[in-house]
């Protein structure tokens, strides 16, 4: 990551790089970036979402509101709705 890119990111993040050791910052971020870059490529590079083929199974709820969307919710990061009834051993006891 080069310095001009860092400056742009600082502008986006409402920060100033003045007085920082830019070189050190660049190295640290590059290291983090390298870690992030180890992520495997996705098979399907298309961004998933509600109308994606792997999209949630709909649940007809009484009010259609706040209904738990099926556990096939595709990587809607942050929107993480976990349904009851996911089959696992634990259902037998407790």
Partner 1 sequence: MIDGPAPTMARARRLRQEDAAAFQVHEYRRLEESRARQQALGAITHWLPAPGATKVPQAGPLSGFDAALKANIAAAGAPTHCGSLFLEDYRSPFDATVVRRLREAGVHFSAVTAMDEFGMGSSSEFSQIGRPVNPHDPRLSAGGSSGGSAAAVAAGHVYFALGSDTGGSVRQPAHCCGVVGLKPTWGRVSRHGLVAFASSLDTIGVLARCVADAWDVLRTMAGADPLDATSQDQPALESDYLTEQSWRGVVCAVPEDLEAWDVDHAVLAHQKENEAHLRSLGATLQPVPLKRWGDGLAIYTVLNAAQAASNLQRFDGTLYGRRGAGSSHRESLVAGRTAGFGPEVQRRILLGCHVLSGGFRDRYYLRARAGRQALTENFRHLFGGADILAGPTAPTAAFPLGTRLRDPVAMRRSDIFTVPASLAGLPAVSLPTGTDPAGLPLSLQLVAPWWRERRLCALAASLESSLGKGDSRG
Partner 2 sequence: MAETAGFTVGLEIHVRLNTPHKIFCYCPNRADGAPNTHTCPVCLGLPGTLPVLNPEVKEPALRLALALGCTIARVSEFSRKNYFYPDLPRNYQITQQRWPLATGGQLEEVGLERIHLEEDAGRSRHQDGGWNLVDLNRAGTPLAEIVTLPQLRDGAGARRVLARLRQLVRYLGISDGDMEKGSLRCDANVGLGPGHSQAGPWVEVKNLNSLRFVQKAVDQEIQRLGKALACGQPLRRQTRGWDPRTGQTYAQRLKEELADYLYFPEPDLPPLVISAAAIEAVRRNQPELPGARQARYEESWGLSRDDAATLCRTPQLADYFDTTVQELRTRGFREADGAAEAARWILSRVLAAVDGKDESLKVIPLQPSGLAALLAARLDGRRTRQQILTIWEPAMRGEDPVSLVEREVPPGPSREQIQTLAQQILARDAHLVARFQAGNPALLNHFLGNVMQATKGRAEPRTVKEILLELLAGFSP
Q: By CB under 8 A, is residue 57 in contact with partner 1?
A: no
- What is the distance between the alpha carbons of residues 18 and 4, in angstroms, rounded to a whole number? 13
Gap between the Cα atoms of 88 and 85, Å rounded: 8
The one among 55, 71, 74, 83 contacting partner 2 by CB under 8 A: 55
Nearest to 81 by CA among 93, 66, 71, 94: 71
Q: Is 62 a residue that touches partner 1 (CB under 8 A)? A: no
Q: Does 64 help bind partner 2 (rule: CB under 8 A)?
A: yes
Q: Is 68 in the site for partner 1 (CB under 8 A)?
A: yes
> Using the 8-state DSSP alphabet, how is residue 52 labeled?
S
Can you give the length of the chain in residues? Answer: 94
Q: Site residues (CB under 8 A) for partner 1?
A: 1, 5-6, 9-10, 12-16, 18, 20, 25, 28-29, 31-33, 35-42, 45, 47-48, 66, 68, 71, 74-82, 84, 86-90, 94
């Amino acid at each position: 990551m080069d310095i001009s890119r860092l400056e742009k990111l600082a502008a986006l993040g409402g920060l100033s790089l003045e007085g920082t050791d830019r070189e050190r910052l660049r190295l640290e971020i590059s290291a983090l970036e390298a870690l992030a870059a180890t992520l495997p490529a996705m098979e399907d590079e298309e961004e998933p979402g509600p109308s994606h083929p792997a999209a949630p199974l709909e649940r007809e709820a009484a009010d259609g509101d706040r209904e738990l969307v099926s556990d096939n919710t595709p990587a809607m990061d942050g929107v993480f709705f976990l349904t009851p009834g996911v089959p696992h051993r634990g259902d037998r006891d407790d």
